[in-house]
Amino acid sequence: MDAKGRLMMPAAFKKQLAPVLQEGFVVKRSVFQRCLEVYPKQEWDLVMAKLNKLNRFVKKNNDFIRRFTAGVKVVEVDANGRMLVAKDLCQFAGLTKELVLSSAVNIIEIWDKDAYEQVIDDAVVDFADLAEEVMGNIDLDELS
């Protein structure tokens, strides 16, 4: 990341994202980690369609929507392959010069390199148990 908060998209990411580059992206704070989540606009629209089904007259729904969408920014990748990340989002995630872009199924996570490595190191011990708990009871034939 440069001093102006611009993130250079790696060429491989840019190539994979080519079909959605023109629509732009939405960047938001992660709910569970100190990182940012980058949604292709089409994916964000699907999430928002689900949120729009929540009854806003239920206080916890309204509180969730407010917190989930706090700090959301619509961004574009410029002709040089850079994405401008807002300062408040950079501060939330503790982003410095060295970053990690991590694919998380249908979104991209942006991490400070040191924080990412720490989370991965901490998770190694528990990952086997987590994998068994999350995936162990799934009939893999149903996923196809």
| Residue 25: strand, helix, or coil | strand
Reported as a pLDDT band with limits 50, 70 and 90, residue 15 is: confident
Q: Can you give the CATH number for the domain in which 88 is found?
A: 3.40.1550.20
Q: Is 81 part of a structural domain of the chain?
A: yes
Q: Is 34 part of a structural domain of the chain?
A: yes
Domain that holds residue 42: 6-113
Mention every residue, 6+ apart, whose C-beta is less than 8 A from residue 103.
109
pTM: 0.84
Q: Is 128 part of a structural domain of the chain?
A: no
Reported as a pLDDT band with limits 50, 70 and 90, residue 95 is: very high
Q: What are the b/e assignments for 103-128, b being 16+ CB within 10 Å?
A: eeeebbbbbbeebbeeeeeeeeeeee
Q: Is 77 part of a structural domain of the chain?
A: yes
Pick the more confident residue, 96 or 73: 73
pLDDT in tens, 60-94: 999 999 999 999 999 998 888 899 999 999 999 99
Q: Is 138 part of a structural domain of the chain?
A: no
* Total tally of structural domains belonging to the chain: 1
Q: Which residue has the tokens 């990182």?
A: 35
Reply yes or no on whether the pLDDT at 28 is more than 60: yes
pLDDT for residue 135: 77
